[in-house]
Structure 1
Amino acid sequence: MNGSTGPAERIVVLGFGPVAARFVDDLLPHKLAGTIGLTVIGGEVRPAYNRVLVADVATGRTDAASLSLAEPQELAGAGVDLRLGTSAVRVDRSRRRVLLSDGSELGYDRLVFATGSRPAIPVLRGLDFSPLGDPPLPEGVMALRDLDDAARLARVVRTGGRVVVLGGGILGVEAALAIREAGAVATLVHHGPVPLARALDHDGGRVLAAALADAGIEVVPDVRAVGVRVDGGRFSGLDLEGGRSCPGDALVVSVGVRPRTELAEGCGLVVTGGIRVDERLCADTEERVFAIGDCAAVQGRPPSCLIGPGWTQASWLAGHLARLLLSAPSLPGPAARPGLAEPVPEEAAAVIMLKARGVDLAAAGTVSSGPWDPGTQRVSVWADPGQGRYCKLVTEGGVLTGFIAIGMPRTAAELVLLYERGDDLPADRSSLFRLDDAALPASARVPEDSDVLCRCSGATFGEVQRACDSGCSSVDAVGSACRAGTGCGGCRTVIEEMLASAAEAAPA
């Protein structure tokens, strides 16, 4: 045996965010069967919740309870040792021990880093900077990464205050739209020439910027922030190059994240933009230490920090450890190697979908080529800036390799299916541009049961349809049945439409 008086395998999980919650959930059958001991270390006093939707709590779209991803009583009933409000301060890999912030120690047979990421805090006058820590921020400055931030921002939003959002990525744009929709004043400040500059071409970015302005958001592009103004201990404005300042009652910093790797680095693991793991998520040579989610650099690739790939890794690793247990339940000496398992699935190309009422946007792939550029790519563009519509298709050998669709939801839905399936485009590409004509059918292509609907959980159209047909009457019920809609929320509108169709088709 391994020296433990408990189950044959002691698994310790460092971190209890959304990815760790999925990992623990998938391991519960083995915990209930008594084949593993499972300890989870969570730095927050709250159990795991969906951080992606924290902005929705701040702006009143949903409440904190709906973000919950774990039930402590259920975990305790299954025998999971859940330790909230504490953290690991050191890992001793030679002795397979973890030292906790409360002074206690834990032994492990397998250690899983699910430490996630921390918000990147830019170097600005008036802010403390610490690349490996969580520096205190002035009152009114937040990264909108946890429920405490949501509560602070909610107080400003409820009073119709001014909120400055720093960062023109997808989270910054979504935050600005949600804040404005909730009745507060929103200013979006970003360094690039257009918002979402990494995902859109310049013309698409200009159409999006106009749509944001039409939604009542002040967009301040092509500027660098240089300092934060604090009056009376509270944020009062963001200083920009050239002497300009954006006044506000709150500042939301949305300029990216950094993996939390200092604990792994301190115990000798390789860190290269994240904890370096192989294609089986293993970080050491003994198959004792693993990493998943935002902190994991699979084969050295920087983590995408998206919830979907993190959940895929969590489910894969739970299955992998279960296979190891079945092959050698007592695990004498070094970890057993029953033969190489299939590697974790490669991360699919991300599709960006803007979750905002009134602004429809989807984009994916490489869209930098123009219609007249030389090469093998073929580019088609349709634009109607006055109506807030823009579409660009980039193909290679007839297959869609990149696209942008703004203000054209039917076209966007069709392009997402074509892109993810790798299907050829129709010979008449203009037919795709005409899909949003109200006189045409809702879609030229019916999703197949195997098509992925929820890109976070991997739930397919078929799984969601079966959940709707089985009597689910809400998006949350569908999420409980097949996990669809429990991630970023981008698929909730489609699920609502499927629920309505199922209700209409049900016998009276």
Structure 2
Amino acid sequence: MRTRIVVIGGGPAGARLARRLPVTLVGEEPHAPYNRVLLADVLAGRYGPEVITLPGIREPARLGVRAVRIDRAARTVECADGSLVGYDRLVLATGSNPVLPPLRGLPGGALPRGVHSFRTLDDCLALRAAVRPGVRAVVVGGGLLGVSASRALAALGADVVLAQQGERLMERQLDAPASALLREHVESLGAEVHTECRVSGLRQRDGAVTAVELADGFVLDAQVVVLACGVRPRVALAREAGLAVATGIVVDDELRTSDPYVHAVGDCAEHRGRVYGLAGPALEQADALAEVLEREARGAGAAEAEAPGTEAPEAAAPGAGIPAPSAGPASPSASPSPPAYTGTRALTRLTLAGPRPLDLAAFGEVTARPGDDTVQLTDATRNAYRKVVVRGDRLVGGVLLNDLAAVGALARAWEGDEALPEAPLLHLLTHDGGSRHER
């Protein structure tokens, strides 16, 4: 008897599982699963929506269907259309919601006309339909998403203002020199950038936004406002089902929640106290979970093979035909399987088109602590910047702009947490990342 695996969520993690395993995918969005990383390119007009569609999944999905309740006792998922979907294993890949800041003039529920979040394909298409050359657009938030949205809006001919509350753009990923170069690039696209600029409210007329109010009393006229203030894990479904939730849905190294028959992956999952909110870790978690479920399926098949001649009952209970998930440590005679997922060291990549294209990569800690060694190279002619931070004999972080030839070797050294070669640190910023130098 085949294990019934139900996946709630059609984002990158859910779609990855659906391509690897026979599952029932329940997706709230009506679109086929797509690559969210490329939404800014769709907004800018570089790609059509069909281009970012992910490869086909193994079995038909239930798209445009919202899951509203999990009955863990009956092992069923109730959907908004009234249907019930039974499961033996449930995977929550519910993703995240955009953070809507507490602004005056931003009521709960529907956003005022002209105010957009930037998280889904529908958000992207609605924003693209609202923008035309000369439209005054204010982007609130100077992180990765806000910078990407600003570039896309500028490509459409909008008059863009980017308002960042922090001291610099992408301050979580970049050091001050790299952020300054990024700001210079965004401004070269025609966007106006304001940092240390807190937005306090919105002005409306006849239900449509007309301006953005700043905390210092300054007012920015706006016909379009994009809220790019980060994301928050979608955990309501899990919390209402009684699962353990902190910032995200708490999972172990097998991506298992507090219910051994329910897993969580992607933006909604919290592993070892960390919520990643990035595509790379979400895909790694999906692959790790696929291996867990495949291993369980092989174990179930072996158990059935050892009991030939046993007839299946006419009506099997939920979970029949599959082994119960392990609870507690294995016995000394057992040979435990290695942990499925131990975490991800995520590297941030961003490519911005324009008169002077910009390509950047950042990873780990880019601000040195006392006692750390740093190597920093700046090439003003090529508008390039490279920096690595070394702690002892370990590479702990780095940032590269417009010269990414060494990024592969650097990323491997950082991700593997390996001792660096005994060579001058300057070699880390050569095109092979110092990999040709032996200890």
What is the TM-score with the length of structure 2 in the denominator?
Answer: 0.84
Does residue 1:101 correspond to 2:80, yes or no? yes
Aligned pair in 2 of structure 1 residues 336, 366: CA closer, same or farther (>3 Å)? Answer: closer
Once residues 119 and 175 of structure 1 are traced to their aligned partners in structure 2, the CA distance between those partners, rounded to angstroms, is 14
Determine the structure 2 residue equivalent to 1:424.
Answer: 420
Deviations 1:72-124 (A, max 9, x none): 7x633xxxxx2222222111111212222112222221111111111111111
Alignment partners' CA distance in 2, 1:277 and 1:432: 36
Matched, 1:344 2:317: no
Structure 1 residue identity aligned to 2:7? V
Structure 1 pair 336/264, CA: closer, same or farther in 2 (3 Å)? closer
Structure-2 separation of matches of 1:86 and 1:268 = 22
> Is structure 2 residue 59 aligned with structure 1 residue 75?
yes
Deviations 1:160-199 (A, max 9, x none): 4222111111121122122223332221111111101112
Give the aligned partner of residue 277 of structure 2: 305
CA distance in structure 2 between the aligned counterparts of 1:401 and 1:24, rounded to whole angstroms:
35
How far apart are 1:367 and its partner, in Å? 2.1
What is the rounded CA distance, in whole Å, between the counterparts of 2:184 and 2:193 in structure 1? Answer: 9
Task: Give the RMSD, CA atoms, in angstroms.
Answer: 2.7
Structure 1 position 321 matched with structure 2 position 293:
yes
* Letter of the 1:335 counterpart: A
2:48 to 63, 75, 100: 63
Instruction: Please show how residues 288-303 of structure 1 align to structure 2 within 5 Å.
Output: 288-299=261-272, 301-303=273-275
Residues 1:119 and 2:98 are matched in the alignment: yes
Amino acid in the other structure paired with 1:128: P
Letter aligned with residue 293 of structure 1: G
Aligned residue for 2:41, secondary structure, equals helix
Normalising by the residue count of structure 1, what TM-score does the alignment of the two structures yield?
0.74
Say whether the 8 Å CA contact 2:405–2:432 is kept in structure 1: no
Q: CA deviation at 1:276?
A: 0.7
Q: Which amino acid aligns with 1:362?
A: A
Q: Say which of 234, 244, 261 aligns to 1:270.
A: 244
The residue type equivalent to 1:314 in the other structure is A
Which deviates further from its counterpart, 264-273 or 320-329? 320-329
CA distance in 1, matches of 2:407, 2:160: 27
Q: CA deviation at 1:152?
A: 1.9
Q: 1:10 touches 1:109 (CA, 8 Å); kept in 2?
A: yes
Aligned to 2:315: none
Which blocks of at least 5 consecutive residues in structure 2 are unaligned?
Answer: 305-319, 327-333
**Mapped partners of 1:345, 1:231: distance in 2:** 51
Question: Identity percentage over the alignment?
Answer: 37
1:341–1:127 distance in 2 versus 1, CA, 3 Å:
farther
Alpha carbons 1:379, 1:392 under 8 Å: kept = yes
Q: Write the letter of the residue equivalent to 1:23.
A: L
The 8 Å contact of residues 292 and 340 in structure 2, kept in 1 or not, is answered as no
Amino acid aligned to 1:181: A
Instruction: Please list every run of 5 or more consecutive structure 1 residues that lacks an aligned counterpart in the other structure.
Output: 1-6, 29-37, 77-81, 130-134, 436-442, 449-508
| Residue 200 (1) aligns with residue 150 (2) | no
Secondary structure of 1:200's match?
coil
In structure 2, relative to structure 1, the CA distance for the partners of 1:119 and 1:96 (3 Å cut) is same
Q: Is the 8 A contact 2:281 2:346 kept in 1?
A: no
Q: Which residue of 1 aligns with 2:7?
A: 13
Distance 1:209 1:425 in 2: 35
Match of 1:402 in 2: 397
Structure 1 range deviating more: 196-205 or 219-228: 196-205
Deviation at 1:206, TM superposition (A): 2.3
Instruction: Identify the structure with the greater helix proportion.
Output: 1
How many angstroms apart in 2 are the aligned matches of 1:420 and 1:278?
21
